[in-house]
Structure 1
Amino acid sequence: MRVSIIGGGTVTEEKIDVAAETGRSLARRGHTVVCGGLGGVMEAACRGAKEADGRTVGILPTDRRADANEYVDVAVATGLGHARNALVPMNGDAVIAIGGSGGTLSEIGFSFVYDRPVAGLGTHDVPGVEACETPEEAVEYVEREV
């Protein structure tokens, strides 16, 4: 299964650790991590997935694949800026949101448009987002819901 991990590009060390563990947990279970391909939560999730021999996809807002973080296996350059936020949840079977602000909130909204289950780890408290305490709990939730 592909799981989109969404979250802020600039985040606390705590969120970095949560994102890396989420990526590792997904990879250990054989899932592919899809993200926005840049820094912060995105980079940490990809790093965690690679540490567990997982596969990663980065859907970039820029028109240059080279802008992807070093842990992205497949970089998709879109040149769409924030409009690429629609593509990140669309390309996952489920979504895990970690922290974030307005961009993450827009991706959560698109997750609902595409009927993707959303697990949240310290993210926006909105109806439809399943609040989880740990990365493992978030992964188990999306596995059950898909």
Structure 2
Amino acid sequence: MKPMYISVIGAGRCGAAETALAEEVGRLTALRGAILVCGGLAGVMEAAARGAKEAGGTTIGILPGHDRELANPHIDHVITTGIGHARNLAVVSTGDAVIAVGGGYGTLSEIGLAAKIGRPVVVVAGWRLQSDAGVEGVYYAASAAEAMQLVDRALALETGSVDTRRVSDL
């Protein structure tokens, strides 16, 4: 089976709680054999990539500019785009699912883009989207482990062919 790709999104600057949460998301991504995709810079992106690398995982950073040297040191494969914030679409469309950790308006745009193209999104400690009908494909988790379980459920519902092992089974 081909590996799953999980895009982790969040702010370029974050506090200690979001850093720890992003590191745990990255670690759990790697432990399940998934490839972590992110924006490749600092903050949540760096923390998630660090967590993935410490657990032996593979990371991809999709940068907004042309300079590979700006990628954080935990990125294995750097993709430069030169398209600024438009790279947010590349980040979320590369993942089979998206996990948002905190974040600002850039993260909100990524959540919207991911939902628009049909990628399941799990938000941990971040934006809460509301509508009378609910927001299809957007889920909310209280922890990194719960986020992974929601990713599994969302992808199993979508395709029926994804590895549905739970984090506790790894």
TM-score (norm 2): 0.84
- Aligned positions of 1:124-135 closer than 5 A: 124-126=127-129, 127-128=135-136, 129-135=138-144
Return 5+ residue gaps in structure 1 as ranges.
none
Residue 10 in 1 paired to residue 19 in 2? no
- Partners of 1:75 and 1:13 lie apart in 2 by 26
Output the CA distance in 2 between the equivalents of 1:33 and 1:72. Answer: 9
Moved over 4 A (4+): none
Match of 1:79 in 2: 82
- Aligned-partner Cα distance in 2 for 1:91–1:66: 22
User: Any idea what the Cα deviations from partners look like across 1:60-94, whole Å, max 9, x if unmatched?
Assistant: 00111121100000000001111111111000000
Unaligned runs of 5+ in 2: 130-134, 156-170
Alpha-carbon separation, structure 2, partners of 1:121 and 1:89: 16
d(CA) in 2 for partners of 1:117, 1:86: 14
CA distance in structure 1 between the partners assigned to 2:29 and 2:37 by the alignment: 11
Instruction: Give the % identical residues.
Output: 48
Match status 1:139 vs 2:148: yes
Higher RCO (CA 8 Å, separation ≥ 6 residues): 1
Q: Counterpart of 2:161?
A: none
SS at match of 1:131: strand
Hey, what's the Cα distance between the residues in 2 that align with 1:58 and 1:44?
Answer: 12
Deviation at 1:114, TM superposition (A): 1.7
| Alignment TM-score, normalising by the size of structure 1 | 0.97
* SS at structure 2 position matched to 1:142: helix
Larger radius of gyration: 2
SS in 2 for 1:71: coil
